[in-house]
Amino acid sequence: MLPGDGIGPEVSAEALKVVEAAADTFGFSYETETYDFGGDRYLATGEILPDSAIEEFRDYHAIYLGAIGHPDVAPGVLEKGILLKVRFDLDQYINLRPIKLYPGVPCPLVGKGPEHIDFVVVRENTEGIYTGAGGFQYKGTPQEVSTQIHVTTRFGAERAVRYAFDLTQRRNRMKQLHLVAKTNVLTFVHDTWWRAFNEVGEADYPDIKREYAHVDAACMWFVKNPEWFDVVVTDNQLGDIITDLGAVIQGGMGLAASGNLNPDGVSMFEPIHGSAPRYTGQGKINPLAAIAAAGMMLDQLGETVAAEAVESAITNVLGSGKIKDLGAGRMGYTTSEVGDLIATEVKSIGK
Ligand code: IPM
Ligand code: MN
């Protein structure tokens, strides 16, 4: 457990509460270890996330992260030093982000319901513009030059694309995979993606329909026709951006979960929202994204029945209309009470 900053610890506690309910109900056991890396520890000790901790992380079956980000720490320090470091060092090359509108959740798109919004974004998670390649020259002078280099490797694009094709196969829904990129401008890096996508698809997934959308158009289609999407594969930065748009069409950041996956190693699960520092410790934040991320973790750990129960519990509780508003402080329940609702529902599903 890396509960992290701000509201991270509160929502992580609810995620763990639901895992515990699932373990009791479905008969598996687990152990957790908690690490306090985050803004407060950094401010107190100067330590961000040492390599020795990464070495320890390699021995776990999964990592669960609450949220990272502290108002008194400069942007980038914790994000790069903790979140991106874990993703990169543990080679979590897939960032899996389901975009699903649950029943009973108000959707900002007129005329769209749960039958229209159910797709998954596969975001490449170790390359692109996130690698940190680049730098400054003549910083602070009128001649200042800054570069931030987008790094795509054929290997990285291809493994993301393959994962996405496999997922499309497993979902067995529309059998359709979209590549989202900007091939009309990023004629090098996205050409590599384009060829990887088409060559892999043609050779190994002839039954999966390949679609392409430029990222700007994809933003429009996410709003106008979200039902066109089944699985989307994209690079790191575009995936970051379009999944916030995805979160809002599924009812808000409070519902969007993600998994940073290394299919052959240790994966890390987290809600995609931030640390919301101004709500810290108030019990006002909806923990459902965090709980859904715990569900994804159970799935990855092979506890598929328990994972499905968590997913159904979220669906049932939201569908019941008990929680009228998911906004901070407007739920009519505290963070912990929402955790209780889901935990109770998991137990009753398992009966
Ligand atoms: C996310 C976040 C991170 C990202 C930040 C905090 C580095 O926005 O997980 O989407 O850009 O990947
Ligand atoms: Mn993001």
pLDDT tens digit string along 279-301? Answer: 999 999 999 999 999 999 999 99
Residues in Cβ contact with 151 at an 8 Å cutoff, skipping those fewer than 6 apart: 127, 128, 129, 131, 133, 189
The confidence band for 199, taking pLDDT boundaries of 50, 70 and 90, is: very high
User: Could you read off the pLDDT of 241-269 as tens digits, one per residue?
Assistant: 999 999 999 999 999 999 999 999 999 99
Sketch the domain layout of the chain as residue ranges: 1-106+255-351, 128-250
Which band of pLDDT confidence, cut at 50, 70 and 90, is reported for residue 347?
very high
C-alpha pair distances (Å), 18 with each of 23, 75, 245, 337, 339: 8, 32, 27, 12, 7
Identify whether the C-beta of residue 19 lies closer than 8 Å to the C-beta of residue 343. no
Predicted confidence band at 341 (pLDDT cuts at 50, 70, 90)?
very high
pLDDT for the residue numbered 228:
98
For the segment 161-191, what is each residue's pLDDT rounded down to a tens digit?
A: 999 999 999 999 999 999 999 999 999 999 9
CATH of domain 128-250: 3.40.50
**Percent of the chain scoring above 70 in pLDDT:** 100
128-144 pLDDT, tens digit each: 999 999 999 999 999 99
| pLDDT for residue 324 | 85
Q: Does 79 sit in the ligand 1 pocket, CB within 6 Å?
A: yes
User: At residue 61, does pLDDT exceed 90?
Assistant: yes
Q: How far is the CA of 320 from the centre of ligand 2 (A)?
A: 30
Annotation says 130 is catalytic: yes
Atom of ligand 1 nearest to the CA of 84: 7
CA distance 127 to 133: 10
The Cα 83–Cα 19 span in angstroms is 23
Q: Residue 259's CB: how many other CB atoms inside 10 A?
A: 22
For residue range 87-137, list pLDDT tens digits in order: 999 999 999 999 999 999 999 999 999 999 999 999 999 999 999 999 999
Domain 1-106+255-351 grouped into CATH 3.90.850.10: no
Please give the torsion angle defined by the CA atoms of residues 305, 348, 253 and 100, in that order, rounded to the nearest 10 degrees: 50
Asked whether the beta carbons of 297 and 64 are under 8 A apart, the reply is yes
Ligand 2 center–CA 245 separation, angstroms: 10
Record the pTM: 0.97
Active site residue 182: yes
Nearest CA to ligand 1 atom 5: 79
